[in-house]
Amino acid sequence: MPKTESELWNWVVEYNRNATHDRGLISNYGYNAILDVNLVSVCKELAANTDGPVRILDVGCGSGKALAQLSQSLDQAGADIDDFEFWGMGLNRYEQMYIPEERMLYGGLNSYDFGDTKFHLILSVYAFHYFWHKLEAVERIHNELLAVGGRAYLHFPGYLLRFEESPEDIKQTESAGNAKFAKFLEESQRAGDICPMDFHVVPYYSDDDDRALLGEFGHLRFTKSNNDLIRFGVGLEAFAMFSKGFTIKSMDNSDRIYIASHYGKNPHYDMQGNKLDFQFGSPYGSCHLVKEESNGALVHRPAEGSDFAPYRITSVDIEVGGHGYEIDMAVHAIAADNVIVICPGACDSLAGELFPYRALASRIADERLGAVVRYNDPYDNKCKYADFLIEKLRAAILLIRREATHICGIENPKIRLLAYSSSAGAAAAVTSEFPEIDSLLLAAPSRDVPLDRFAEHYRKFTGNVHVLIGDSDETVLPQQAFWYYQEALSAGMREYVEFPGCGHRFCGTANQDMLLEAPNWAFGFRSRPEGFPPAVTEPSEAWLWM
């Protein structure tokens, strides 16, 4: 499985070497069919309205066979072939290339330096499936590469764009995803952010007698009518690699890989309206792991430049009680000496319906307290819940062990657990199994894992323990939460804090603000955040209840 963008591109090139790099112009799966257009007619129209040669760019051209056939077809249709320039963009040289070397641009669309060159027609077939920054690529085609009056015809996988982290959005069908993208496009046009664009889908079927529906070709086409810039008003927040079936797959999956791009509503622009640079590197999206020689040792520090790096959404398969589960995991990679695992409450989503997991992860990463791994809780009552809780957390920690250098930049990071509600017992249970765990932050901790599964090991845990509870928690009694403080007998540091007027979900602006500061208190080794309640350092007799 590729682990960096460059590895991914190399993998794609190798995979497609004998499969699609010779895709032609005219066939059931040729350019005209996939783009749902007659390119000869389009080229002749452009030539009639263009002074000088019509420059045509095929992004992801493979061997350039489609461009060569387009040239031949134009010649046969009576067009003056000298009125056209055919340019290809790709990542590899094939044994047989159909366009001259001087007309081949080797590199990626988002990073290649085109200088002042403008094109009148830009085509792309089966390339955007492998882009992380899909919408940024569309912006660049319109804003920088097309001449005024120029046209773009893009085979565009709208279903590979996500705008939420709900399970339905992460594992959406091809049809549902294309419909969501079409709606997003309409909203962007109504807001005046982009020029008029047409997006439609055409179903395609197998070539055999069954004529089975295989999927949809998404087509995005537009004309650049003036030099006004377009901006979609969103920024890439995360990405996921997945294979056939349109669901996320694990890191070691070897099937065909496509890239799902997860966009957020906050665009990545500075105060002057300039788009922030995006960089690539780690498979988890962090681009800031660099090695420097310091006293003869390799150290990792944030790289200079943009702080923006998309996080990675992947999945891990686990088996509990004979039943298989696919656990979605979001990995926020930064250079750090530790990884913080955010463990969810019962049946909660990746972003957090009950608890702000994504907001916590962003705050932790922004303040560089550590890299972050968070996951969902797709429990379905088919197995024992305690076993399910423990196996999910084990899977997250094992992922960190396997991929540590890509997540935080070192091989053996410390691991810190931020466990909410039902996950607290699982966090306590695994402390003896994974010696790299050095701190626990337990928020509204319940005891969904029986005491005999973890109490003895937990009492021997020598790391730090911090317990949070709302004094009005309607699900977990403060006495129950206090047990986690009271029984942390060997902890290097232990503290217990009650949020006044706070329920199980830490609702309300004041409670949410304090909750977002809690990792600083527990993992940042910093002074107590302003407004943070005082800690209880000795158990009161009123709390003893065992």
| Residue 308 belongs to some domain of the structure | no
Helical segments of 408-544, H only: 423-429, 455-459, 478-486, 509-523
Q: Is residue 282 part of a domain?
A: no
Q: Copy the structure tokens of residue 336.
A: 């750090």
| Residue 498: inside a domain | yes
Residue 83 per-residue DSSP state: G
In this prediction, residue 272 carries a pLDDT of: 46
Could you tell me which of 410, 422, 416 has the C-alpha nearest to residue 434?
416
Same-domain check for residues 197 and 340: no
CATH number of domain containing 123: 3.40.50.150
> Rounded to whole angstroms, what are the CA distances from 31 to 37, 47, 243?
8, 20, 23
Domain assignment of residue 458, yes or no: yes
Last residue of a domain, one of 200, 230, 260: 230
Q: Are residues 178 and 59 in the same domain?
A: yes
> Where is the domain boundary, 230, 252, 273?
230
Question: Dihedral angle at the C-alpha atoms of 441, 446, 452, 453, nearest 10 degrees?
Answer: -60
- C-beta of residue 217 within 8 angstroms of C-beta of residue 155: yes
Q: For residues 214 and 348, state if they share a domain.
A: no
Q: Are residues 345 and 214 in the same domain?
A: no
Q: Are residues 340 and 225 located together in one domain of the fold?
A: no
Domain membership of residue 519 (yes or no) is yes
User: How many separate domains does the chain show?
Assistant: 2
Chain centre distance of CA 521: 28
DSSP string, 262-299: EEESS--B-TTSPBPP----STTS----EEEEETTEEE
Query: Is 477 strand, coil or helix?
Result: coil
d(CA 530, CA 371): 24
Let me know whether 22 and 155 are in one domain.
Answer: yes
Asked if 392 and 537 sit in the same domain, the reply is yes
**Angstrom distance (rounded) from CA 348 to CA 401:** 25
Give every residue of the chain whose pLDDT is below 70, as ranges.
1-22, 28, 204-215, 242-257, 266-309, 525-526, 537-546
Write out the residue range of the structural domain in which residue 93 sits: 5-230
The one-letter amino acid at 312: R
**pLDDT 10s digits, 241-298:** 765 333 333 333 345 568 889 998 755 544 444 554 443 333 333 333 333 333 333 3
Q: Tell me whether residue 401 is in a domain.
A: yes
State whether 197 and 55 are in the same domain: yes
Q: Is residue 512 helix, strand or coil?
A: helix
In a domain, 321, yes or no: no
Q: What token pair was written down for 53?
A: 């040669």
Which CATH number do you get for residue 420?
Answer: 3.40.50.1820
pLDDT for the residue numbered 312: 87
- CB-based contact 143:170 (threshold 8 Å): no
CB-CB contact of 258 with 234 (8 Å): no
For residue 495, the model assigns a pLDDT of 93
Task: Report DSSP state, residue 128.
Answer: G
Q: Which of 204, 230, 256 corresponds to the end of one domain?
A: 230
171 lies in a domain? yes
- pTM metric for this prediction: 0.82
CB 155 within 8 Å of CB 81: no
Site of tokens 């845990």: 461
In terms of Cα–Cα distance, which of 198, 207, 220, 48 is closest to 134? Answer: 220
Return d(Cα 99, Cα 111) in angstroms, integer.
22
**Which residues, in sequence order, are bridge partners of residue 410?**
none
